[in-house]
Amino acid sequence: MTSASGRENRRVSRPAKALVSLLCSPLVLAGVGDAAEVSARPGSVVRWSGDGSESCGRGMRTWSANASTCWFPIDLLEAPGEVAVFRIRAGRREAAKIQVTDYPYPVQRIKLKDSSKVDLSPEDLVRVRRDQARVKSLWLLAGPARFRLPLAPPLEEMGPAGSFGSRRFFNGQPRSPHSGADYPAVEGATVFSVAPGTVVLASDLFFSGQSVFVDHGDGLVSMYFHLSSMSVAEGEQLESRAVIGAVGETGRTTGPHLHLGLRWRGARVDPSLLLGPRAEIPALLESGDPVNQAEPKAASRGSVDRVEVSTGGAAAERGRYASGETFRCRPSSY
């Protein structure tokens, strides 16, 4: 990581510049940084860890930190640009920025023999709207978190996740991007809950077929689609890895598989991120994060664009020499 001052200023001493170089080094930065910035793709999640973190927020919405970590889900359709976030840590407000990248997902063209799943009849359209109204209310659920990350695998044998975020065309007609991950599985394979929770919807829906929705607290809802059978009922309390049902091909699908979806505080996020190692989730580098400190390269690979150190208060975005000249720390591509 390197540091740079702005304009040349003869009043800035060499010892002062040396101190800035030290402050901007990766090891010291993890202990003193108040402001940070990270890039993240749509549909991802950003973590911000720090001892003493109490609550987290974006805009007017706030929520409790989870084991001293703030988690910021980025919706699949989040527009590119800057997202301002904050946390309350030891009674002090600290700000950070997430730079949302351009939409990175490919186009997926699907040919269905049953055109009635593409060109809906008036009766089917009424049913779809009714389904959507039932599901939409689930994104407002809150309450204490009942899960730990990473989430448990929903299948005994997990193949590679496919098609999350794909911009889909059914029989040549554009439709909404794919907001879940498809996992290959044989029909009848057992499907498990990814975490403890409450079954908030178990029903046969037009597009997703036999579907189960589980509320895990903290606004996290998991979805299991296209099941051949359901083993749970609405209101049922589940432990992690409780049996949800069996893999099938009900609803609009081209064959047996498990569609796993996750909504976190309403945001559509890639399930593979929350099923995988914590170190692969983009991170705002701060103190109190053992993954960042123990594995800086794995934790920051491809995710950190810039970190700005504040020496003059949580609201500041740059450090400042005694002369008044500002400086900014920028990481090298380690």
* pLDDT the model gives residue 197: 98
Same-domain check for residues 57 and 172: no
pTM of this structure:
0.75
Residues 167, 217 within the same domain: yes
Strand, coil or helix: 297: helix
Q: 35 and 7 in one domain?
A: yes
The CATH number of the domain where 216 resides is what? Answer: 2.70.70.10
122 and 244 co-located in one domain: yes
Domain holding 97, by residue range, is 2-103+278-330
First to last CA, the chain: 8
Task: Look at residues 229, 245, 275 and tell me which one is the last residue of a structural domain.
Answer: 275
Q: Within this chain, do residues 119 and 263 fall inside the same structural domain, yes or no?
A: yes
185 shares a domain with 71: no
What is the number of structural domains in the chain? 2
Q: Answer yes or no: do 44 and 114 share one domain.
A: no
pLDDT (tens place) for every residue of the chain, 334 residues total: 444 444 444 444 444 444 334 334 332 233 334 468 999 999 999 999 999 999 999 999 999 999 899 999 999 999 999 999 999 999 999 999 999 999 999 888 988 888 888 889 999 999 999 999 999 999 999 999 999 999 999 999 998 888 899 988 888 888 889 999 999 999 999 999 999 999 999 999 999 999 999 999 999 999 999 999 999 999 999 999 999 999 999 999 889 999 999 999 999 999 999 999 988 999 997 544 444 333 332 332 222 222 232 323 333 333 433 333 333 333 322 2
Boundary-marking domain end, from 258, 275, 292: 275
At a CB cut-off of 8 Å and minimum separation 6, what does 18 contact? none
**What's the angle, vertex CA 38, arms to CA 298 and CA 330, rounded to 5?**
85
Same domain, 124 and 268: yes
Shared domain check, 221 and 311: no
Alpha carbon separation from 126 to 67, 161, 204 (Å, rounded)? 44, 32, 15
Tell how strand 92-100 and strand 37-40 pair up.
parallel
My answer on whether 31 and 158 are in the same domain is no
Based on the domain organization, do 159 and 286 belong to the same domain? no
From the CB of residue 16, how many other CB atoms can be counted at a distance below 10 Å? 16
- The answer to whether the CB of 84 falls within 8 A of the CB of 100 is no
CA distances from 240 to 219, 273, 316 (A): 17, 18, 43
